[in-house]
Chains A and B, each alone.
Chain A
Amino acid sequence: MSRLHDMGGRFGDGSIPVPRNNDNEVTNCEPTFKYEWHAKAWAITLAAGALGEWNLDISRHYRECLPPKDYINFSYYEKWLAALTNLLIDKKLVSLDELKEYVSAAKNGTLTKFSDKDIKLDHRTWLAKDVQKTLGWGGPSIRDTNVNPVFDIGDKVITQNYSPNKDVSGGHTRLPKYAMGRVGVIHSYNNNHVFPDKNAHGFGENPLPLYTVEFKSSELWGESAESQNDSILLDLWEPYLKLLPN
Protein backbone atom coordinates (compact mmCIF):
# COMPACT_ATOMS: atom_id res chain seq x y z
CA MET A 1 0.00 0.00 0.00
CA SER A 2 2.92 2.33 0.51
CA ARG A 3 6.66 2.65 0.14
CA LEU A 4 9.54 3.00 2.55
CA HIS A 5 9.87 6.75 2.13
CA ASP A 6 6.42 7.10 3.74
CA MET A 7 7.80 6.71 7.26
CA GLY A 8 5.84 9.22 9.38
CA GLY A 9 4.82 7.61 12.67
CA ARG A 10 6.85 4.44 12.09
CA PHE A 11 8.21 2.63 15.15
CA GLY A 12 11.77 1.44 15.63
CA ASP A 13 13.88 4.47 14.81
CA GLY A 14 16.33 5.54 17.49
CA SER A 15 17.58 8.90 18.70
CA ILE A 16 17.74 11.89 16.39
CA PRO A 17 21.38 12.42 15.28
CA VAL A 18 21.55 15.84 16.95
CA PRO A 19 25.04 17.35 16.55
CA ARG A 20 26.72 18.41 19.78
CA ASN A 21 29.86 20.43 20.47
CA ASN A 22 32.81 19.49 22.71
CA ASP A 23 30.83 20.62 25.77
CA ASN A 24 28.03 18.25 24.72
CA GLU A 25 25.69 21.14 23.93
CA VAL A 26 23.34 20.98 20.97
CA THR A 27 24.95 22.93 18.15
CA ASN A 28 23.49 24.52 15.05
CA CYS A 29 26.86 24.44 13.33
CA GLU A 30 27.70 21.76 10.83
CA PRO A 31 29.04 21.98 7.29
CA THR A 32 26.46 22.44 4.53
CA PHE A 33 27.89 19.35 2.86
CA LYS A 34 29.79 16.87 5.02
CA TYR A 35 31.82 15.44 2.12
CA GLU A 36 32.71 16.80 -1.27
CA TRP A 37 30.81 13.97 -2.95
CA HIS A 38 27.62 15.03 -1.12
CA ALA A 39 27.95 18.47 -2.66
CA LYS A 40 28.65 16.95 -6.07
CA ALA A 41 25.74 14.48 -5.94
CA TRP A 42 23.44 17.34 -4.95
CA ALA A 43 24.75 19.77 -7.57
CA ILE A 44 24.73 17.33 -10.50
CA THR A 45 21.14 16.38 -9.60
CA LEU A 46 20.09 20.04 -9.75
CA ALA A 47 22.06 20.67 -12.94
CA ALA A 48 20.69 17.56 -14.68
CA GLY A 49 17.17 18.50 -13.57
CA ALA A 50 17.61 21.87 -15.26
CA LEU A 51 17.84 20.05 -18.63
CA GLY A 52 14.06 19.98 -18.43
CA GLU A 53 13.58 16.26 -19.09
CA TRP A 54 11.71 15.66 -15.85
CA ASN A 55 9.90 17.61 -13.13
CA LEU A 56 10.31 17.68 -9.35
CA ASP A 57 7.53 15.13 -8.80
CA ILE A 58 9.11 12.65 -11.21
CA SER A 59 12.46 12.94 -9.48
CA ARG A 60 10.84 12.43 -6.06
CA HIS A 61 9.03 9.36 -7.34
CA TYR A 62 12.25 7.90 -8.72
CA ARG A 63 13.82 8.18 -5.25
CA GLU A 64 10.76 6.54 -3.74
CA CYS A 65 10.90 3.71 -6.28
CA LEU A 66 14.38 2.57 -5.33
CA PRO A 67 14.20 -1.08 -4.26
CA PRO A 68 13.47 -1.20 -0.51
CA LYS A 69 16.83 -2.79 0.29
CA ASP A 70 18.64 0.06 -1.43
CA TYR A 71 16.37 2.73 0.03
CA ILE A 72 17.18 1.48 3.51
CA ASN A 73 20.90 1.02 2.97
CA PHE A 74 21.66 4.14 0.97
CA SER A 75 22.53 7.37 2.70
CA TYR A 76 20.62 10.49 1.67
CA TYR A 77 22.80 11.57 -1.26
CA GLU A 78 23.30 7.98 -2.40
CA LYS A 79 19.52 7.86 -2.93
CA TRP A 80 19.71 11.07 -4.94
CA LEU A 81 22.51 9.72 -7.12
CA ALA A 82 20.84 6.34 -7.69
CA ALA A 83 17.55 7.96 -8.70
CA LEU A 84 19.39 10.40 -10.94
CA THR A 85 21.22 7.53 -12.66
CA ASN A 86 17.94 5.73 -13.34
CA LEU A 87 16.41 8.92 -14.72
CA LEU A 88 19.38 9.58 -17.00
CA ILE A 89 19.01 6.11 -18.52
CA ASP A 90 15.19 6.11 -18.72
CA LYS A 91 15.14 9.55 -20.33
CA LYS A 92 17.89 8.42 -22.71
CA LEU A 93 20.27 11.21 -21.77
CA VAL A 94 22.95 8.56 -21.35
CA SER A 95 23.02 4.93 -22.48
CA LEU A 96 23.65 1.97 -20.25
CA ASP A 97 26.79 1.17 -22.26
CA GLU A 98 28.15 4.67 -21.65
CA LEU A 99 27.37 4.37 -17.96
CA LYS A 100 29.13 0.99 -17.75
CA GLU A 101 32.16 2.37 -19.58
CA TYR A 102 32.53 5.26 -17.11
CA VAL A 103 31.83 3.04 -14.10
CA SER A 104 34.51 0.63 -15.17
CA ALA A 105 36.97 3.49 -15.73
CA ALA A 106 36.11 4.87 -12.28
CA LYS A 107 36.81 1.47 -10.73
CA ASN A 108 40.14 1.16 -12.57
CA GLY A 109 41.15 4.70 -11.73
CA THR A 110 41.29 5.61 -15.42
CA LEU A 111 38.53 8.25 -15.58
CA THR A 112 41.18 10.80 -16.58
CA LYS A 113 41.49 9.07 -19.96
CA PHE A 114 38.28 10.91 -20.91
CA SER A 115 39.63 14.28 -19.86
CA ASP A 116 41.16 15.30 -23.19
CA LYS A 117 37.76 14.80 -24.78
CA ASP A 118 36.45 17.81 -26.68
CA ILE A 119 33.38 18.94 -24.74
CA LYS A 120 30.54 20.54 -26.64
CA LEU A 121 27.83 21.85 -24.32
CA ASP A 122 24.29 20.69 -25.05
CA HIS A 123 21.90 23.54 -25.90
CA ARG A 124 19.84 22.71 -22.78
CA THR A 125 22.79 22.79 -20.39
CA TRP A 126 22.45 25.11 -17.37
CA LEU A 127 25.17 27.75 -17.54
CA ALA A 128 26.88 29.26 -14.49
CA LYS A 129 25.86 32.77 -15.54
CA ASP A 130 22.18 31.74 -15.29
CA VAL A 131 22.38 30.02 -11.89
CA GLN A 132 21.33 32.95 -9.68
CA LYS A 133 18.53 33.95 -12.01
CA THR A 134 17.12 30.41 -12.18
CA LEU A 135 17.40 29.87 -8.41
CA GLY A 136 15.70 33.21 -7.75
CA TRP A 137 12.88 32.26 -10.03
CA GLY A 138 12.47 28.77 -8.57
CA GLY A 139 9.73 26.44 -9.73
CA PRO A 140 6.40 27.80 -8.52
CA SER A 141 3.70 25.12 -8.31
CA ILE A 142 0.71 27.49 -8.02
CA ARG A 143 -1.33 27.70 -11.22
CA ASP A 144 -3.99 30.21 -12.18
CA THR A 145 -7.02 28.09 -12.96
CA ASN A 146 -10.75 28.52 -12.72
CA VAL A 147 -11.06 25.58 -10.32
CA ASN A 148 -12.88 26.72 -7.18
CA PRO A 149 -12.23 25.03 -3.85
CA VAL A 150 -15.03 22.74 -2.69
CA PHE A 151 -14.24 22.96 1.03
CA ASP A 152 -14.47 25.90 3.40
CA ILE A 153 -12.26 26.70 6.32
CA GLY A 154 -13.59 24.82 9.33
CA ASP A 155 -15.11 21.98 7.28
CA LYS A 156 -14.71 18.52 8.74
CA VAL A 157 -13.10 16.15 6.24
CA ILE A 158 -11.92 12.54 6.13
CA THR A 159 -8.86 11.47 4.14
CA GLN A 160 -8.89 8.52 1.76
CA ASN A 161 -8.18 5.27 3.51
CA TYR A 162 -6.16 3.64 0.77
CA SER A 163 -3.39 4.68 -1.58
CA PRO A 164 -4.99 7.61 -3.37
CA ASN A 165 -3.25 7.46 -6.77
CA LYS A 166 -6.08 6.44 -9.08
CA ASP A 167 -3.99 6.06 -12.24
CA VAL A 168 -1.01 4.03 -11.16
CA SER A 169 -0.79 1.18 -8.70
CA GLY A 170 1.96 2.14 -6.26
CA GLY A 171 2.01 5.54 -7.93
CA HIS A 172 3.25 8.75 -6.43
CA THR A 173 1.11 10.52 -3.83
CA ARG A 174 1.61 13.07 -1.08
CA LEU A 175 -0.96 11.71 1.37
CA PRO A 176 1.15 9.89 3.97
CA LYS A 177 -0.26 6.62 5.23
CA TYR A 178 -0.28 7.75 8.86
CA ALA A 179 -2.95 10.28 7.87
CA MET A 180 -5.08 7.99 5.70
CA GLY A 181 -8.71 7.44 6.74
CA ARG A 182 -8.44 10.13 9.43
CA VAL A 183 -10.73 13.00 10.30
CA GLY A 184 -9.40 16.53 10.24
CA VAL A 185 -10.52 20.12 9.84
CA ILE A 186 -9.73 22.47 6.94
CA HIS A 187 -7.33 25.03 8.41
CA SER A 188 -6.70 27.03 5.22
CA TYR A 189 -7.01 27.00 1.45
CA ASN A 190 -3.73 27.66 -0.33
CA ASN A 191 -4.63 28.24 -3.96
CA ASN A 192 -4.42 25.64 -6.74
CA HIS A 193 -1.20 23.67 -7.09
CA VAL A 194 0.20 21.18 -9.59
CA PHE A 195 -1.12 17.75 -8.56
CA PRO A 196 1.86 15.43 -7.91
CA ASP A 197 -0.18 12.21 -8.31
CA LYS A 198 -0.55 13.08 -12.01
CA ASN A 199 2.55 15.16 -12.62
CA ALA A 200 4.94 12.46 -11.33
CA HIS A 201 3.75 10.13 -14.08
CA GLY A 202 3.78 12.49 -17.03
CA PHE A 203 -0.01 12.88 -17.03
CA GLY A 204 0.11 16.68 -16.94
CA GLU A 205 -0.02 19.23 -14.13
CA ASN A 206 -3.77 19.07 -13.33
CA PRO A 207 -3.64 21.91 -10.78
CA LEU A 208 -6.13 21.39 -7.94
CA PRO A 209 -7.07 23.09 -4.68
CA LEU A 210 -4.55 22.56 -1.90
CA TYR A 211 -5.59 22.79 1.74
CA THR A 212 -3.82 22.72 5.05
CA VAL A 213 -5.72 20.20 7.18
CA GLU A 214 -5.37 19.99 10.96
CA PHE A 215 -5.58 16.63 12.74
CA LYS A 216 -5.73 16.21 16.47
CA SER A 217 -2.86 14.14 17.75
CA SER A 218 -5.39 11.79 19.37
CA GLU A 219 -7.09 11.22 15.98
CA LEU A 220 -3.82 9.99 14.51
CA TRP A 221 -2.32 8.13 17.44
CA GLY A 222 -5.27 7.34 19.69
CA GLU A 223 -4.68 6.95 23.40
CA SER A 224 -0.95 6.66 22.89
CA ALA A 225 -0.76 10.28 21.69
CA GLU A 226 1.76 12.24 23.78
CA SER A 227 -0.78 14.98 24.44
CA GLN A 228 -4.45 15.12 23.55
CA ASN A 229 -3.93 18.82 22.95
CA ASP A 230 -1.30 18.67 20.18
CA SER A 231 -2.06 18.66 16.50
CA ILE A 232 -0.45 17.77 13.18
CA LEU A 233 -1.06 19.80 10.05
CA LEU A 234 -0.64 18.49 6.50
CA ASP A 235 -0.93 20.11 3.09
CA LEU A 236 -3.40 17.97 1.12
CA TRP A 237 -4.94 18.19 -2.32
CA GLU A 238 -8.71 18.10 -2.73
CA PRO A 239 -8.97 14.54 -4.15
CA TYR A 240 -7.43 13.20 -0.91
CA LEU A 241 -10.41 14.54 1.07
CA LYS A 242 -14.13 13.91 1.55
CA LEU A 243 -16.55 16.19 3.34
CA LEU A 244 -18.09 14.97 6.60
CA PRO A 245 -21.16 16.50 8.27
CA ASN A 246 -19.93 19.04 10.84
Chain B
Amino acid sequence: MSEKKNIIDDHHSHDHAHSHLPSDPELRVKAVETLLLNKGLIDSKTLDELIDTYENRIGPKNGAKVVAKAWVDPEYKKRLLNDATSAIRELSYQGRQGENMVVVENTPKTHNVIVCTLCSCYPWPVLGIPPTWYKSDEYRSRTVREPRKVLLEFGLSLDPKVQIKVWDSTAEIRYLVLPMRPKGTENMNESELSELVTRNSMIGTGLPKEIK
Protein backbone atom coordinates (compact mmCIF):
# COMPACT_ATOMS: atom_id res chain seq x y z
CA MET B 1 0.00 0.00 0.00
CA SER B 2 2.79 2.42 0.87
CA GLU B 3 3.88 2.76 -2.76
CA LYS B 4 0.44 4.08 -3.61
CA LYS B 5 0.70 7.01 -1.26
CA ASN B 6 0.72 9.53 -4.07
CA ILE B 7 -2.62 8.52 -5.43
CA ILE B 8 -5.51 10.76 -4.67
CA ASP B 9 -8.47 8.75 -3.51
CA ASP B 10 -11.43 10.12 -5.41
CA HIS B 11 -13.85 8.94 -2.74
CA HIS B 12 -12.40 11.55 -0.45
CA SER B 13 -12.37 14.33 -2.97
CA HIS B 14 -14.95 16.27 -0.92
CA ASP B 15 -12.27 16.44 1.76
CA HIS B 16 -9.74 18.07 -0.54
CA ALA B 17 -7.83 20.74 1.33
CA HIS B 18 -8.65 23.32 -1.33
CA SER B 19 -12.31 23.26 -0.27
CA HIS B 20 -11.27 25.21 2.86
CA LEU B 21 -10.04 28.16 0.82
CA PRO B 22 -11.98 31.45 0.72
CA SER B 23 -14.34 32.01 -2.22
CA ASP B 24 -12.59 35.19 -3.37
CA PRO B 25 -9.60 34.00 -5.46
CA GLU B 26 -7.54 37.05 -4.52
CA LEU B 27 -7.90 36.23 -0.80
CA ARG B 28 -7.25 32.57 -1.57
CA VAL B 29 -3.87 33.36 -3.12
CA LYS B 30 -3.03 35.84 -0.37
CA ALA B 31 -3.69 33.23 2.33
CA VAL B 32 -1.54 30.53 0.72
CA GLU B 33 1.20 32.97 -0.26
CA THR B 34 1.46 34.44 3.28
CA LEU B 35 1.51 30.98 4.82
CA LEU B 36 4.31 29.78 2.53
CA LEU B 37 6.29 32.99 3.02
CA ASN B 38 6.03 32.77 6.81
CA LYS B 39 7.10 29.14 6.77
CA GLY B 40 10.14 30.13 4.74
CA LEU B 41 9.12 27.76 1.92
CA ILE B 42 9.04 30.54 -0.67
CA ASP B 43 10.85 33.88 -0.85
CA SER B 44 9.08 37.04 -2.02
CA LYS B 45 12.17 38.16 -3.97
CA THR B 46 11.98 34.91 -5.97
CA LEU B 47 8.33 35.57 -6.82
CA ASP B 48 9.20 39.11 -7.97
CA GLU B 49 12.08 37.82 -10.10
CA LEU B 50 9.88 35.15 -11.72
CA ILE B 51 7.07 37.56 -12.53
CA ASP B 52 9.44 40.22 -13.84
CA THR B 53 11.20 37.66 -16.03
CA TYR B 54 8.05 36.58 -17.86
CA GLU B 55 6.40 40.03 -17.89
CA ASN B 56 9.44 41.85 -19.25
CA ARG B 57 12.17 39.58 -20.54
CA ILE B 58 10.83 36.30 -21.93
CA GLY B 59 8.05 36.50 -24.51
CA PRO B 60 7.11 36.28 -28.20
CA LYS B 61 9.84 38.76 -29.17
CA ASN B 62 12.29 35.89 -28.62
CA GLY B 63 10.40 33.62 -31.00
CA ALA B 64 10.14 36.45 -33.53
CA LYS B 65 13.94 36.73 -33.61
CA VAL B 66 14.24 32.99 -34.25
CA VAL B 67 11.77 33.23 -37.14
CA ALA B 68 13.39 36.31 -38.67
CA LYS B 69 16.81 34.67 -38.54
CA ALA B 70 15.43 31.59 -40.29
CA TRP B 71 13.96 33.82 -43.00
CA VAL B 72 17.28 35.48 -43.83
CA ASP B 73 19.73 32.65 -43.14
CA PRO B 74 19.07 29.38 -45.03
CA GLU B 75 21.74 27.51 -43.06
CA TYR B 76 20.16 28.58 -39.78
CA LYS B 77 16.74 27.53 -41.06
CA LYS B 78 18.14 24.10 -41.89
CA ARG B 79 19.54 23.74 -38.36
CA LEU B 80 16.28 25.02 -36.88
CA LEU B 81 14.16 22.44 -38.68
CA ASN B 82 16.66 19.69 -37.98
CA ASP B 83 17.38 20.34 -34.28
CA ALA B 84 15.29 23.24 -33.01
CA THR B 85 16.45 23.02 -29.40
CA SER B 86 20.10 23.61 -30.37
CA ALA B 87 19.33 26.22 -33.03
CA ILE B 88 17.18 28.20 -30.59
CA ARG B 89 19.90 27.92 -27.96
CA GLU B 90 22.23 29.68 -30.40
CA LEU B 91 20.18 32.80 -29.63
CA SER B 92 20.41 32.04 -25.88
CA TYR B 93 16.77 30.97 -25.56
CA GLN B 94 16.50 27.74 -23.63
CA GLY B 95 15.28 26.01 -20.51
CA ARG B 96 11.99 25.63 -18.72
CA GLN B 97 9.17 24.46 -21.00
CA GLY B 98 11.47 24.59 -24.02
CA GLU B 99 13.80 21.71 -23.21
CA ASN B 100 12.78 19.79 -26.36
CA MET B 101 11.79 22.11 -29.15
CA VAL B 102 10.42 21.18 -32.56
CA VAL B 103 9.84 23.81 -35.27
CA VAL B 104 7.25 23.05 -37.94
CA GLU B 105 7.35 24.95 -41.21
CA ASN B 106 4.38 26.47 -43.00
CA THR B 107 4.47 26.13 -46.79
CA PRO B 108 2.04 27.01 -49.58
CA LYS B 109 0.67 23.47 -49.13
CA THR B 110 0.74 22.98 -45.34
CA HIS B 111 -0.38 25.11 -42.41
CA ASN B 112 0.54 24.09 -38.86
CA VAL B 113 -1.40 24.85 -35.68
CA ILE B 114 -0.32 24.15 -32.10
CA VAL B 115 -2.63 23.19 -29.23
CA CYS B 116 -2.50 21.37 -25.91
CA THR B 117 -5.81 19.60 -25.36
CA LEU B 118 -4.88 18.09 -21.98
CA CYS B 119 -3.50 21.18 -20.26
CA SER B 120 -1.67 24.26 -21.56
CA CYS B 121 1.79 23.13 -22.78
CA TYR B 122 3.50 26.04 -24.54
CA PRO B 123 7.12 26.91 -25.47
CA TRP B 124 7.97 29.40 -22.72
CA PRO B 125 11.53 30.37 -23.75
CA VAL B 126 10.38 31.60 -27.17
CA LEU B 127 6.76 32.65 -26.54
CA GLY B 128 6.48 33.32 -22.80
CA ILE B 129 3.35 32.53 -20.80
CA PRO B 130 0.40 31.40 -22.96
CA PRO B 131 -2.41 33.88 -23.66
CA THR B 132 -5.82 33.31 -22.08
CA TRP B 133 -7.39 31.99 -25.29
CA TYR B 134 -4.71 29.29 -25.64
CA LYS B 135 -5.63 27.99 -22.17
CA SER B 136 -9.39 28.24 -22.77
CA ASP B 137 -11.68 25.22 -22.92
CA GLU B 138 -12.93 26.46 -26.29
CA TYR B 139 -9.50 26.39 -27.94
CA ARG B 140 -8.47 23.13 -26.27
CA SER B 141 -11.63 21.24 -27.19
CA ARG B 142 -12.32 22.53 -30.71
CA THR B 143 -8.93 22.95 -32.39
CA VAL B 144 -8.32 19.24 -32.97
CA ARG B 145 -11.84 18.65 -34.33
CA GLU B 146 -12.54 21.80 -36.33
CA PRO B 147 -9.31 23.74 -36.86
CA ARG B 148 -10.69 25.60 -39.89
CA LYS B 149 -13.62 27.05 -37.93
CA VAL B 150 -11.26 27.95 -35.09
CA LEU B 151 -8.85 29.72 -37.44
CA LEU B 152 -11.74 31.67 -38.99
CA GLU B 153 -12.46 33.10 -35.54
CA PHE B 154 -8.90 34.42 -35.57
CA GLY B 155 -9.61 35.99 -38.97
CA LEU B 156 -7.62 33.36 -40.83
CA SER B 157 -9.30 31.79 -43.85
CA LEU B 158 -7.31 29.00 -45.47
CA ASP B 159 -7.69 27.60 -48.96
CA PRO B 160 -9.43 24.21 -48.76
CA LYS B 161 -6.51 22.76 -50.72
CA VAL B 162 -4.04 23.68 -47.96
CA GLN B 163 -3.50 20.79 -45.57
CA ILE B 164 -3.78 21.65 -41.89
CA LYS B 165 -1.60 19.82 -39.42
CA VAL B 166 -2.67 20.22 -35.80
CA TRP B 167 0.04 19.37 -33.26
CA ASP B 168 -1.39 18.37 -29.88
CA SER B 169 1.39 18.84 -27.31
CA THR B 170 0.71 15.68 -25.32
CA ALA B 171 4.31 15.15 -24.12
CA GLU B 172 7.30 17.35 -23.25
CA ILE B 173 8.01 18.41 -26.82
CA ARG B 174 7.21 22.06 -27.38
CA TYR B 175 6.27 23.32 -30.82
CA LEU B 176 6.88 26.58 -32.65
CA VAL B 177 5.46 27.35 -36.09
CA LEU B 178 7.80 28.85 -38.69
CA PRO B 179 5.41 31.03 -40.72
CA MET B 180 6.00 31.91 -44.36
CA ARG B 181 7.90 35.13 -45.01
CA PRO B 182 5.48 37.80 -46.25
CA LYS B 183 5.75 38.97 -49.86
CA GLY B 184 7.50 42.26 -50.56
CA THR B 185 9.96 41.97 -47.68
CA GLU B 186 13.03 41.18 -49.78
CA ASN B 187 14.80 44.41 -48.78
CA MET B 188 14.12 44.15 -45.06
CA ASN B 189 16.80 43.17 -42.59
CA GLU B 190 16.48 40.64 -39.78
CA SER B 191 15.55 43.16 -37.14
CA GLU B 192 12.85 44.77 -39.34
CA LEU B 193 11.50 41.34 -40.24
CA SER B 194 11.21 40.28 -36.61
CA GLU B 195 8.76 43.18 -36.11
CA LEU B 196 6.41 41.46 -38.57
CA VAL B 197 6.33 38.18 -36.67
CA THR B 198 3.26 38.06 -34.42
CA ARG B 199 2.82 35.66 -31.53
CA ASN B 200 -0.23 34.09 -33.17
CA SER B 201 1.74 33.43 -36.36
CA MET B 202 4.11 31.26 -34.31
CA ILE B 203 1.19 29.26 -32.85
CA GLY B 204 -0.52 28.96 -36.22
CA THR B 205 -3.61 31.02 -35.40
CA GLY B 206 -2.37 33.99 -37.38
CA LEU B 207 0.01 35.15 -40.10
CA PRO B 208 2.88 37.61 -39.95
CA LYS B 209 1.99 41.27 -40.53
CA GLU B 210 1.78 42.29 -44.20
CA ILE B 211 3.73 45.16 -45.70
CA LYS B 212 1.38 48.05 -46.41
Q: What residues of chain B lie closer than 8 Å to A124, measured between beta carbons? A: 41
A140 and B118 contact, CB distance less than 8 A:
no
Does B149 lie within 8 Å of A233, measured CB to CB? no
Query: A227: CB under 8 A from chain B?
Result: yes
CA of A39 to CA of B26 in the docked complex: distance in angstroms? 11
Chain A residues near B187: list those with CB within 8 A: none
Q: Which residues of B contact A98 (CB under 8 A)?
A: 35, 39
- CB of B1 closer than 8 Å to a CB of A: no
Complex Cα spacing A30 to B7, Å: 38
Interface size class, chain B? 35 or more
Give chain A interface residues in 9-66, CB to chain B under 8 Å.
Answer: 9-19, 25-26, 28, 30-35, 37, 39-44, 46-48, 51, 58, 60-63, 65-66
Contact in complex: B171, A136 (CB < 8 Å): no
A208-238 contacts to B, CB under 8 A, are 210, 212, 214, 220-221, 226-227, 229-237
Residues of chain B contacted by A117 (CB below 8 angstroms): 38
A67–B17 Cα gap in the complex (Å)? 12
Query: Which residues of the other chain, B, contact A237 by a CB distance below 8 angstroms?
Result: 171
B86 within 8 A of A: no
Residues of A within 8 A of B145 (CB): 8-9, 178, 220-221, 226
Whether B138 lies near A16 (C-beta < 8 A) is yes
Separation of A75 and B169 alpha carbons in the complex (Å): 21
A8 touches B144 (CB 8 A): yes
CB-based nearest A residue for B30: A106
B117 & A176 in contact (Cβ 8 Å cutoff): yes
Q: Is A161 an interface residue (CB 8 A)?
A: no
CA separation between A76 and B99, bound complex, in Å?
A: 24
Given contacts A81-B25, A119-B37, contact A138 B98 (CB under 8 A): yes
Known pairs A37-B25, A99-B35; A140 contacts B100 (CB<8 A): yes
Determine whether the beta carbon of B100 is less than 8 Å from that of A44: no
Please tell me if the beta carbons of B21 and A81 are within 8 angstroms of each other in the complex: yes
> B50-58, B69-77, B178-186: which one contacts chain A?
B50-58
Minimum CB–CB distance from A73 to chain B (whole Å) comes to 11
* Distance A21 CA – B163 CA, assembled complex (angstroms): 30
Whole-angstrom CA separation of A96 from B35 in the bound complex: 11
Compute how far the CA of A141 lies from the CA of B170 in the bound complex, rounded to whole angstroms.
13
A105-127 with Cβ < 8 A to chain B: 105-107, 111, 114, 117, 119-122, 124-127
Contact between B141 and A7, CB atoms less than 8 A apart: yes
Contact B150 A231 (CB under 8 A): no
Judged by a CB distance under 8 angstroms, whether B81 is at the interface is no
In the assembled complex, the CB of B157 is this many whole angstroms from the nearest CB of chain A, namely 13
Contact A83-B18, Cβ < 8 Å, known A202-B6, A235-B173 = yes
A31 partner residues in chain B, CB cutoff 8 A: 55
CA distance A135 to B111 in the complex (A): 31
Q: Taking the nearest CB of chain A, how far is it from the CB of B92, in angstroms? A: 9
Q: Is the CB of B95 within 8 A of A138?
A: yes
Residue of A nearest to B173 (CB): A235
Which residue, of B26, B31, B149, has the highest number of chain A Cβ atoms within 10 A? B31
**Residues of A contacting B32 in the complex (Cβ-Cβ under 8 angstroms):** 44, 81, 84-85, 88, 99, 102
For window 154-212 of B, CB contacts with A under 8 Å fall at 154-155, 160-161, 163-173, 198-200, 206
Which of B42, B99, B132 is close to A138, meaning CB atoms less than 8 Å apart?
B99
Contact of A174 among B22, B55, B118, B200 (CB under 8 A): B118
A interface residue numbers (CB < 8 A to B): 5-19, 25-26, 28, 30-35, 37, 39-44, 46-48, 51, 58, 60-63, 65-67, 70, 75-78, 81-86, 88-90, 93-94, 96, 98-100, 102-103, 105-107, 111, 114, 117, 119-122, 124-128, 131-132, 134-142, 168, 170-171, 174-176, 178-179, 190-191, 193-194, 196, 200-203, 210, 212, 214, 220-221, 226-227, 229-237
Supply 5 A–B pairs (Cβ within 8 Å), ascending by A: A17-B132, A103-B21, A178-B117, A210-B171, A233-B168
Q: A81-B18, A81-B25 known; 16 other A-B pairs, CB under 8 Å? A: A9-B144, A16-B138, A16-B153, A17-B136, A43-B46, A44-B42, A67-B13, A81-B28, A99-B20, A102-B34, A131-B46, A134-B96, A193-B172, A202-B5, A210-B173, A230-B164
